[in-house]
Amino acid sequence: MTTILYNKVMETIIIDVNIFEEFSNDLSEVWIEKIALNSLRLGLLSLNSEFILEYHSLGITIADDITIQGLNNDYRGLNEITDVLAFSENYPGEYYGESEKTISTAESFPNETGYAGEIVLSYPQCKRQAEENKISINKELATLVSHGVLHLIGYDHTNDNELKIMEQIQIDSIKHLLDT
């Protein structure tokens, strides 16, 4: 449980981090929570959102390629590995499949009062992207966690301006938590 100051009001938010066992020795739940919290705080300040008053928990799962590919196929209609997915009842995202979508995010994920949603990230894809972009795995992981959190609170990147805003918040959210 973490307390966040927003609009001069102290609110408590639970960030539930789940790491698949095969990656648990490589990753820190506390560090991932800090990235998510920074992203949430900076993202909300930019939005001037009431999110923190409506929601008090979110989930982050660090998964494998098979899991993320299955979720991407089921919820977005794309049978491919992706880096990060954000599942939110309020911001459901696009479905790209040729057949009709058969699974509803709202029906499949917890619908508890105050639950903002779930971020699922492929750690193997994160590692591949870090190598491809010649950056540290921590920087790539932090960027993906931040990206997912921003999607949960309503950010998108359907045009260049939206993308620039998201990227700047991601940079600001992670810069002091990286080793470099």
Q: What share of the chain is helix, strand, coil (3-state, %, to 5)?
A: 50, 20, 30
53 close to 10: Cβ distance less than 8 angstroms: no
CA distances from 101 to 20, 82, 144, 157, 158 (A): 27, 18, 25, 22, 21
d(CA 20, CA 125): 14
- Structural domains of the chain, ranges and CATH numbers in brackets: 14-177 (3.40.390.30)
Rounded to the nearest integer, the mean pLDDT of the chain is: 84
Pick from 157, 176, 158: nearest CA to 167 = 157
d(CA 70, CA 152): 20
DSSP-assigned letter for residue 21: G
Global pTM exceeds 0.75:
yes
For residue range 145-154, what is the model confidence (pLDDT) as tens digits?
999 999 988 8
Pick from 93, 152, 158: nearest CA to 118 = 152
For residue range 50-61, what is the model confidence (pLDDT) as tens digits?
665 677 789 999
CA distances from 120 to 101, 108, 112 (A): 19, 14, 18
Residue 176 pairs in a beta bridge with none
15 close to 58: Cβ distance less than 8 angstroms: yes
For residue range 25-65, what is the model confidence (pLDDT) as tens digits?
999 999 999 999 989 888 887 776 666 567 778 999 999 99
Is the pLDDT score of 4 beyond 60? no
